[in-house]
Amino acid sequence: METSAPLAITPELLLFGGIATAAAMAAVGVVAFNNAVRSALCLVINFFLLAFIYFTLQAETLGIIQIVVYTGAIMVLFLFVIMLLNLGGSGLLQQKGDKRMPVAIALGVVLFGLIASQLLPGLMSVTKPLAPDNFGAPQNVGRALFTQYVIPFEAVSVLLLVGIVGSILLAKRRI
């Protein structure tokens, strides 16, 4: 590592700052909104913006998989379940203010401060990405996935199969 150069304001930094601020606000929204649908919507926004942050890291395949898997499938499932539960009577998923709230927020701030103060200052000077620009291209990801990581990949497929069977078992009334 070279010695720390002063951080220059580049267009990339501004772009990242914009996306990151919006994503962070959405993350706060997930926790802060009382209404479960709004929380879910905030999470959708967060995941969608996160995909663009992945794009800025040149990991375009993973960014697009992020959109397909998270915003396209998982969050739709969440919304589906929330709406199904809402059918049983609204007000079920609302919640009132709580005494634990200030304590938890203080805990969060302390956690953030503690880790950030230990971790971030040393890494401020690392501004040059060393991985090649095409390290996130679908060809390279696919090659790695089907050569060196093929056994974990197959294990994950078994896991998904078990997940499918398990969720069907849970959801079915009679088998």
Partner 1 sequence: MPEWFANLPPVVQALIRVLIFVLPVLLLVPGAIWYERRLLSWAQDRIGPNRVGNITFSRRGKYIPSFLKGKKFHLFGLIQPIADGIKLFMKEDITPTAVDRPIYFIAPALALFPAFTLGATIPWGPFTWLTPVADVNIGILWIIAVSSLGVYGVVLSGYASNNKYSLLGGLRASAQLISYELGMGMALACIVMATGSLRPTDIVAAQQEPLWGVVPALANWNIFTPYGFIAAIIFFICMVAETNRAPFDLPEAENELVAGYHTEYSSMKFAVFFMGEYAAMMVYGGILATVFFGGYHLLPVRWDWIIQQYPASNFIAGFFRDVDYWLSPLTFIFKGVLVLTAYIWLRATMPRLRYDQLMALGWKTLLPLATTNLIVVALWIVAARVYGPPVGILSAVVAFAILYGLWRGLDKAFSPPKAFLAPRSITLVNVPKPTPAPAPESEVAPSA
Partner 2 sequence: MNGVPLAAYLALGLFMFTAGVVGVVIRRSPIVIFMCIELMLNAVNLTFLAFARYQFSTAPALAQNPELATSNSIMGGQMMVIFVMAVAAAEVAVGLGIIMAIFRLRQNIDVDELNLLKG
Chain positions contacting partner 1, by CB under 8 A:
35, 37-38, 41, 44, 48, 60-61, 64-65, 67-68, 71-73, 76-77, 79-80, 83-84, 86-87, 137-139
In the complex with partner 1, the residue whose CB is nearer, 94 or 117, is: 94
| Minimum separation from the CB atom of position 37 to partner 1 (A) | 6
| Minimum separation from the CB atom of position 9 to partner 2 (A) | 8
Is residue 9 within 8 Å of residue 35, measured between CB atoms? no
Q: How many whole angstroms separate alpha carbon 16 and alpha carbon 39?
A: 23
In the complex with partner 1, the residue whose CB is nearer, 106 or 144, is: 144
> What is the DSSP code (8-state) at residue 65?
H
Maximum separation of any 2 CA atoms in the chain, in Å: 66
124 interacts with, out of partner 2, partner 1, none, CB within 5 to 8 A per kind: partner 2
Residue whose entry in the numeric block shows the structure tokens 């606000």: 25
Q: How many whole angstroms separate alpha carbon 89 and alpha carbon 120?
A: 46
CA 162 to chain centre: 24
Residue whose entry in the numeric block shows the structure tokens 């375009």: 60
Q: One symbol per residue from 74 to 93: x for binding partner 2 (CB under 8 A), - otherwise; what is it?
A: x--xx--xx-xx--x---xx
In the complex with partner 1, the residue whose CB is nearer, 8 or 87, is: 87
Q: Is 162 in the site for partner 2 (CB under 8 A)?
A: yes
Q: Is 125 in the site for partner 2 (CB under 8 A)?
A: yes
Is residue 42 within 8 Å of residue 26, measured between CB atoms? yes
